[in-house]
Structure 1
Amino acid sequence: MRLTRIAVATSAVALFALAGCSAQPAATEKPAGEKAAAAALEDGKLIVATEGTYPPFSFHKDGAGELTGYDVEVARAVAEKLGVEIEFQETQWDAIFAGLDAGRFETIANQVTINDERKAKYTFSTPYTVSPGVIVVPEDNTDITSFDDLDGKTTAQSLSSNWGALAEESGATVEPVEGWAQAVALLEDGRIDATINDELTVLDYTKQHPETGVKIAAETPEAGEMAFVFTNDNDDLAEAVDGALAELAEDGTLADLGQEFFGADVSK
């Protein structure tokens, strides 16, 4: 009987100890996105490339103030969801993919259009902008009403951009520029026949500059999809960003940012 009592007492102590252990508060588990981001970002910082001269997507308030824009604020919201700091590196468009390849930053937030050529080399997030490309011409131009009409005409484009490739495919002679601001200035000065760009860029510009004297002549039959882009060895971070974007869509953040910069949800 004594042995039985000892065994029972020992069992009771063990059960009490187990119960005491289970009563301890469990360590807070990080969300999957934060864990994936932490694995991909050793220093807990997301370094993002953007132009800083591409309103309303990436620009400085009043020309020299805080960096902002639709892409910039989407990137900030993603970093917040991932629980990491964010650092922007302002880079000219024509050097931006070389910088990504060299590892100077983890991703690009600058209206990068998803296309077959880029998909063969890079990994993309889910799109956070959906918008067609458009041909922009002077208001009095009646010769260009379709992409076929660009054959033999002169456009101004960033050579490494999706729009530059489209202009060349349409038969245009392309004058290289760094971005939209230079292209539209050449168009307003009458030095080129047209330029191609994202519809949202053009609509924002004409809203800010009603005296501009340019108009949209035609648009692509299908809307383009713009997303964050990563090197193919950074799949973990791309998946984490996808998770953050899904949360931002669900909680209305993407729609709110679209309303702020465009007056509409441009994420779908």
Structure 2
Amino acid sequence: MKKNWIKMILLSAMVLTGCANQKSEQDQLTEIQEEGVLVVGTEGTYSPNSYHDEEGNLVGFDVEVAKAVGEHLGVEVEFFEAEWDSLFAAMDSGRVDTVINEVEYSEDRAEKYDFSEAYTYVHGALLVADDNTDITSFEDLEGKRAAQNLTSSWGRMAEEYGAELVSVDTLNQVMDLLSSDRADATLNAETAFGDYMRNHPEEPVKIVALTETTSSSLIPVRKGEQNLLEAINQALEEMRQSGELKAISEKYFGMDVTSNEVR
């Protein structure tokens, strides 16, 4: 009798262990496809990548890229909008599956996330007020005030050139600081400045320098989610081969920034 009880206990333990292992082995891609939804973190205030049009609809380059990736994965896309500083915290907590919002690689981020292949190649640009003659190169930022998001790669780049950072969240705030002489310059993607200046041709600002190298947008996933990463890479490659990625870029930027070829 005692042996039978022991066998029953061992059998129950094996069943429970098997169920636990099955649950733990279910990766994020499987969960996303079973639920039918990919939750994407994005700012919603950063034109032309992620912003609201006149009707209030969330649109933009990264918004359309995210929707296309979701379509290739066979799921709907649900957007979670928040300020940039909150997006990765939402990803860490499991509130969003990924962040698609001009995310760049950094060693700090690489400690927690894996990254997709690049889907853009964009020059950095240095912007100043139209009447500013003191800053004509990145080296001139030494000791100057740069209006930047404090956790962005552009902010880190400005600091590397010796600039003092002035905190902002939007390009509108940047322009206010430049026009009121509360900041001397700002760094950002050439696409962001180009879009803003097309829509605000009266703004008294100018681009004075471009980086020789380009930065790239990537899609992060949590460490170890290899199946999800491979599925996203496959989606991006299919979009590149079909011309879909190029078409989205030209729609929002007026040029193809999805290729590393010299423009």
TM-score of the superposition, structure 1-length normalised? Answer: 0.83
Measured in 2, the distance between the counterparts of 1:175 and 1:46 equals 35
Secondary structure of 1:210's aligned partner? coil
**Residue deviations 1:93-140, cap 9 Å, x none?**
011111111111011111011233323332111111110111110111
Q: Which of these residues, 203, 208, 212, is aligned with residue 217 of structure 1?
A: 208
Q: Which of these residues, 234, 239, 244, is aligned with residue 253 of structure 1?
A: 244
**Residue deviations 1:140-179, cap 9 Å, x none?**
1111112211011001111110011111111111011123
* Equivalent pair of 1:133/1:223 in contact (CA under 8 Å): yes
Counterpart position of 1:111? 102
Measured in 1, the distance between the counterparts of 2:222 and 2:29 equals 15
* Equivalent pair of 2:177/2:183 in contact (CA under 8 Å): yes
Secondary structure of 1:140's aligned partner? coil
* Equivalent pair of 2:32/2:38 in contact (CA under 8 Å): no
Q: Which of these residues, 205, 214, 238, is aligned with residue 196 of structure 2?
A: 205
Deviation at 1:40, TM superposition (A): 5.1
Measured in 2, the distance between the counterparts of 1:242 and 1:189 equals 44
Counterpart position of 2:128? 137
| Structure 1 alignment gaps of length 5 or more | 1-34
> Counterparts in 2 of 1:1-268, with a 5 A limit?
37-38=29-30, 41-62=33-54, 65-268=56-259
* Equivalent pair of 1:36/1:237 in contact (CA under 8 Å): yes
| Structure 2 alignment gaps of length 5 or more | 1-26
* Number of residue-to-residue matches in the alignment: 233
Measured in 2, the distance between the counterparts of 1:36 and 1:115 equals 23
Secondary structure of 1:250's aligned partner? helix
TM-score of the superposition, structure 2-length normalised? Answer: 0.84
Which stretch shows the higher mean deviation, 40-49 or 216-225?
40-49
Structure showing greater Rg: 1
How many percent of aligned residue pairs carry the same amino acid? 45
Measured in 1, the distance between the counterparts of 2:230 and 2:28 equals 8
Which stretch shows the higher mean deviation, 225-234 or 177-186?
177-186
Report runs of 4+ in structure 1 exceeding 6 Å deviation: none
Q: Aligned-residue CA RMSD in angstroms?
A: 1.7
Deviation at 1:41, TM superposition (A): 4.4
* Equivalent pair of 2:144/2:164 in contact (CA under 8 Å): yes
Secondary structure of 2:195's aligned partner? helix
* Equivalent pair of 1:180/1:197 in contact (CA under 8 Å): no
Measured in 1, the distance between the counterparts of 2:111 and 2:45 equals 28
Deviation at 1:36, TM superposition (A): 8.6
**Residue deviations 1:52-81, cap 9 Å, x none?**
00000001111x511110000011011111
* Equivalent pair of 1:184/1:195 in contact (CA under 8 Å): no
